[in-house]
Chain A
Amino acid sequence: MMISESGTSEKLSLEELHASVGVRSGRKHVLSILVENKPGVLTRVAGLFTRRGFNIDTLAVGPTDDDAVSRITLTVDGAVHPIDQVTKQLHKLVNVLKIRDLEPADSLARELALFKVTVDGPQRSEVMQICDIFRGKVVDVSKESVIFEVTGTTEKITAFDQMLKPFGLVEMMRTGEIAIARGRDET
């Protein structure tokens, strides 16, 4: 059924209305959240995820150029959770100042990882070559082990991890991603 408003040509039919709901984007989202630097704020953010049944994939917290404000960068799987519910619930926290859902194309994301590998003899040079390819650095060497430092996107670090696994990987440490908007705009 079509109706028209007096004086305009605008029309509306109920059939044409579309709801956007619980849409799962199917991709990873990097949320950059500015929060007041007060005790318990991280607990409020993390607790909200637990309470609403959302999973945090990675989480990084650090200071900003303003002492009163901290930044939480977290990643959420948009295939599992409707991202608009996550951000709307976050907005309800009184200590949350600003949330930005960073578009992959408009932002840069980096993670830092440390890998400890037990290698000796010919294997050692082989892993160091792999490290070179990934533009990693050797930051510690002992008779039986090497520690590599790598930065990059989550995907790059995961790829490096896969390459090292066959060589007796002892430990891996990852920081979780931080991200920044490209260009002049503030994140």
Chain B
Amino acid sequence: MRAVDAIMECLKAEGVEVVFGLPGGANLPTYDAFVDSEIKHILVRHEAGGGHAAEGYAKATGKVGVAFGTSGPGATNLVTPIVDAMMDSVPVVFMTGQIRSDLLGTDGFQEADTIGITMPGVKHSFMVTKAEEIPRTIHEAFYIARSGRPGPVVVDIPVDISRGEIDYVPVTDVSLPGYQPNIEGNAKQIRQAAKALAAAKRPVLYVGGGVVLGNASEELRALASSDRFPVTSTLMGLGSFPAEGQQWLGMLGMHGTRTANYSMDGADLICAIGARFDDRITGKLDEFAPNAKFIHIDVDPAEISKNVPAHIPIVGDVKSILPRLTSEYRAIGADSARLDGWLTTIEGWKKEFPLTYSDTTDSEIRPQYMVEAVYEATGGDAIICSDVGQHQMWVAQYYHFTEPRRWINSGGLGTMGFGLPAAIGAKVGCPDQDVVLVAGDGSIQMNIQELAACAEEGIAVKVLIMNNGCLGMVRQWQELFWQKRYSHVHMGDYPDFVKLAEAYGATGIRLTEKGTLVEDLRAAIATPGPVVVDVRVTEEENVYPMISPGMAARDMVG
């Protein structure tokens, strides 16, 4: 069998439905195999678009995403999605072509040291040196990408190797002696954690993207409802716990709610679940949660006590740990009345410091209002993707996610241009759901070429551009921290997004009226095929509240 046909067999065996990519000289043999394969391939217009689409697919479906690119520039264009996938623990296999193995190291045409360039940003990578190794390598790559703490795996195949013939034998096992990712969680530690929860008077459950990745949303809800534990979530964890009701504190961190941040500040016990104490969460580390002890549940042992000391570390799969923690806690039969004082304090914060903005009295659209309108127009039921910046924070604040895998954004790396391709991946993975991208006018331009892929493939993503005419988050920081010395943040009047959408074969709509915004958005989302809506919003509007960089949570402003 041709090695490249074996690649298709391996992808099929891994359950791959779709590959996002772009062909080139060094992966011509692999692309020839697509001609006769059942595996769907979506032709993107830039390799980074393919990489982010694979991420969006993985985030929406929980399956491993796959992106292909050629050698040299094809591979270097994949670097951003690779690092993005690493930061957000997204399971993606990136397969790159490489130049002929006899030319390696000669600075041949379109040669780049793909393995070397990507090394600091991958979970693991493989350079294939023999055609016979291809099947085993691919299966190992998928296994590593999806197991333990998920992440990106690069498989680099020189073009002469992929041209080879092999005796294909399906691979049913992997042999990775240095990799043992699946940990159950120590029973004694779980019992300790249950006791600590029962002893706590001011507990908070602080949940992160790990709960989404670990498909443990139900298990989290069961733990939270085993008593009246207050729950806050990171940007990446939104949707794992419903953003409603008495126990929900809102998102925490730099642009989180005062209630969530004050709760962390006042807590005597914080139970971190699949979260990693990023600097956007802790603010000034020395003054973070000064009264709290920490339970830290994570599948990655290196996250334990990396930034914040864990008093009770539990390493393992959150889906297996949470139910055991819940039943241990229930067995103790703790007196729920001990939480009364704490819950009253929290209720007070909620009443005093709700998320708020000053709405306009004329037809101008405030960006926060736009998000509220999107929530209403979608019934809170769409898969919402975003780019990176102010619009991302406003969606996180004002779109109330109730289910996991409905909120797809670039958290750790903060990649502008992530949104459109990620929305494509999400729509391809979940064709029956509405997929709505809220983008900024800056971010959307970083991968807008993928509108062509949407039009050609009939991928009906709805792109809502929150257009304030500038790089809003940078402008906000220049306003607040650089004395309004605005430097290169104004984007000007171009492009005309409506005309651009039409040129790409999408429907283009411009909205400027607040009064009809909800109905207009509802109509736009109901329009068949890809749609681009240019929504003009207030330029000088800031994301509040805010923990200023290097400050403590209790010193939030705005």
Q: Which residue numbers of A lie inside 8 Å of B, CB to CB? A: 1-3, 5-6, 10, 12-14, 17-22, 35-36, 39-40, 43-44, 47, 50-51, 84-85, 88-89, 91-97
Contacts and interface: CB of A to CB of B under 8 A. Distances in A.
> 9 tightest A-B contacts by CB?
A19-B309, A21-B309, A17-B311, A88-B302, A21-B305, A12-B195, A94-B124, A97-B178, A19-B311
B164 to A, nearest CB: 19
A51 B120 contact: yes
A16 to B, nearest CB: 9
Interface in B322-339: 331-334
Contact of B201 (A1, A6, A40): A1
Give the one of B269, B309, B332 with max A CB within 10 A: B309
A60 B498 CA distance: 62
Given A5-B331, A20-B309, A21-B305, 20 more contacts: A6-B331, A6-B332, A12-B199, A19-B294, A22-B309, A39-B127, A40-B119, A43-B116, A43-B119, A47-B120, A50-B120, A51-B120, A88-B302, A89-B302, A91-B302, A92-B300, A94-B144, A94-B176, A95-B178, A97-B177
6 contacts: A6-B331, A19-B309, A19-B310, A88-B304, A92-B300, A94-B179
Given A3-B198, A3-B199, A96-B178, A91 B301 contact: yes
A3 B194 CA distance: 11
Contact of A18 (B116, B178, B311): B311
Contacts of A88: 301-302, 304
B194 to A, nearest CB: 9
A31 to B, nearest CB: 15
B16 interface: no
Contacts, number: 83
A12 to B, nearest CB: 4
Give the one of A22, A47, A92 with max B CB within 10 A: A92
Contact of B127 (A22, A40, A84): A40
B196 interface: yes
Chain B interface residue number, banded: 35 or more
B293 A17 contact: yes
Contacts of A19: 293-294, 305, 309-311
A14 B269 contact: yes
B178 A93 contact: yes
A145 to B, nearest CB: 38
Contacts of B304: 88
Nearest to A40: B115
Interface in B268-296: 268-269, 293-294
A2 B201 CA distance: 11
A179 to B, nearest CB: 21
Contacts of B268: 14
B279 to A, nearest CB: 15
B308 A21 contact: yes
A68 to B, nearest CB: 9
B215 interface: no
A92 B333 CA distance: 39
A96 B176 CA distance: 10
Contact of B312 (A17, A39, A89): A17
Contacts of A14: 196, 199-200, 268-269, 293
B119 A44 contact: yes
Nearest to A1: B199
Nearest to A43: B119
A13 B312 CA distance: 12
A17 B201 CA distance: 15
A43 B309 CA distance: 30
Contacts of B309: 19-22
Give the one of A1, A21, A22, A85 with max B CB within 10 A: A21
B192 interface: yes
Contacts of B301: 88, 91
Interface in B112-170: 115-116, 119-120, 123-124, 127, 144
A183 to B, nearest CB: 26
B268 to A, nearest CB: 6
A150 B294 CA distance: 50
Contacts of A36: 177-178
A179 B453 CA distance: 58
Contacts of A95: 178
A3 B334 contact: yes
A3 B178 contact: no
Contacts of B311: 17-19
B415 to A, nearest CB: 19
B306 interface: yes
A18 B269 CA distance: 13
Contacts of A3: 195, 198-199, 332, 334
Given A5-B195, A91-B301, A92-B300, A85 B119 contact: no
B105 to A, nearest CB: 12
A84 B305 contact: yes
B305 A20 contact: yes
A50 B124 CA distance: 17
Contacts of B119: 40, 43-44, 47
A12 B306 CA distance: 25
Contacts of B120: 47, 50-51
B293 A22 contact: no
A10 B300 CA distance: 29
